[in-house]
Amino acid sequence: MGVSEILVQIDREIAQLQQARALLVGGAVASPKKTTAAAAAKKPGKKKRNLTPEGRTRIAEAVKRRWAEQKKATSGK
């Protein structure tokens, strides 16, 4: 029996014990937690921040000014 097989067996026993505990407490049956892409996508994260059109315009203008300053600095050398 390899280490990975022992770990799998221990994980199964832990899951069974958690289910038995949940039944004794009266709660819902707890399923073993697995980290998958679907589970990670369901996690509540930070809300997506939306920019107003005015905000986008201000950022675009600031970037253009920055690029102009960089171009001016490099062409002046």
Exposed e or buried b for every residue in 3-40, given b needs 16+ CB within 10 A?
Answer: eeeeeeeeeeeeeeeeeeeeeeeeeeeeeeeeeeeeee
pLDDT of 24-66, one tens digit each?
Answer: 988 655 555 555 665 555 667 778 889 999 999 999 999 999 9
CA distance between the termini of the chain: 70
What's the pTM? 0.36
Cα distances (angstroms) measured from residue 66 to each of 17, 35, 60: 61, 43, 10
**Domain extent listing, the chain:** 3-32+50-75
